[in-house]
Amino acid sequence: MDLLLRERLDRDPGMIFVGTEWSKRVWREYDIESGPDKESLAKFSKEIAESTGAEVALLCHLFAFEDKKGTAYGVEFPAYVAFDLALLRLADSSVLWRGSFVRRQKDLSRNIFDVGEFVKAGGRWLTASQLAALGLDEVMETFPLKQGR
């Protein structure tokens, strides 16, 4: 997901990508294990703002990233991807925008009403990375900052 987000955000020179490792370090420093409470999120937001000079941050929480077992034309298990994105105002840690994607690719016979997704996938089984890229494109259609699309 880092690579996919970096590709989209690097299009805008006003956006800084810090990535997962930086975020994990800050989470550890504030001893956040299962998710932030209001106080730790405020500290995290302050750290991002002071370190980068940013006013907002796009946070990604990856819930599932399971690759397919099989080939492009036949699988035992399809890819499964689930993530949330949240655009956070750093001054007060408020969520300005949220987008979610949860998808396990289905074959056309089980998903006849979603021919569009089948066509977007090129009529083949996608890897988790390919499915995540399609999901990110879908979610970013409603992203409020034009440059990140």
What's the pLDDT tens digit per position in 13-62?
777 777 777 777 766 776 665 566 788 788 888 888 998 888 998 888 88
Token digits of residue 75 = 């699988």
Percent of the chain with pLDDT over 90: 25
Q: Sign of the C-alpha dihedral, residues 24, 28, 34, 39?
A: negative
**11 domain residue, yes or no:** yes
Tally of domains within the chain: 1
Rounded to the nearest 5 degrees, what angle is found at the Cα of 142, between the Cα atoms of 109 and 56?
135
**149 domain residue, yes or no:** no
**22 domain residue, yes or no:** yes
> Which residue range(s) make up the domain with 64?
2-144
